[in-house]
Amino acid sequence: MREIRQPALSSLTTLRLGGRAMRGLVLESEADFELLSEQLAADGGQALYLGHGSNILAADGDLPLTVVRLSLGRRIGFREQPDGTVLVDASADVPMPALLGACLKNGLSGLEGLVGIPGCVGGAVAMNAGSFGVETGRLLHHVRIYANGRWATVNHADLKIKYRSMEFGEGNGEVIVTNATFTLTKAPKNVIFTRMRHNFCEKKSRQPLESWSAGCAFKNPPQMAAGRLLEQAGFRGKRQGGVAFSQKHANFLINEGNGSASAALDLLKAARDAVFRDFGIKLETEVRIVPWPLS
């Protein structure tokens, strides 16, 4: 287990905002997981399990957090099944672009809709990341987790797959995804590449992929688009204190280079309140705000 003193959340998140945590812990072996609860108890703060930080808005200042990250060797493996499908095993620290690249190289289809998602496998599973009609959870064969001081394998049938969330049947305790296995199908590489390129171009035309962003700020209400509600409420391109809702997509909060977490929180609150005032709909944040949720 490696220790990092007072890591800056601004360097560990794609939004590039946030203060300093008390400590960082990097888990590199199974033995490290078994020592974790003791280490967290000694710190006395809140644990923040972090992959590539692509869905995080961390507060400013000195934060009562211990950042826990995984370094498991970024392993990817393939197992062909009798029915012709292929099981793709990926450790939680594998970046999603690397996983999609490996699938393309091996002619395996199913994940093309997730192109352009900057996070890692563990985060994509935990939040059931989705795009272009593809949800991470629907393609899972099983997931290996560490929860409540023990290891467990959760099969697809036992997962509770929800919109932008996942439950693993382990109660209310912290669950760490350590490995995910996907069921994919074989397809010609040129077909997979064409789908990925199309999806990426579509996404780039509509989303600020080149900006510092945490992805979608709010979840879509049932049968509605949060971005459309925010646009109608006048928040497309709305700026405050170095942060803004993107001109490309009103539901993407971006850091223009000199933003602060407090400004981002104020802008999120203003947007949520305006949508509720105008449409009677209370938006729920998709971006995870730490250590305190949006009040």
The catalytic site residues sit at: 164, 216, 286
Q: Give residue 133's identity as a one-letter amino acid code.
A: G
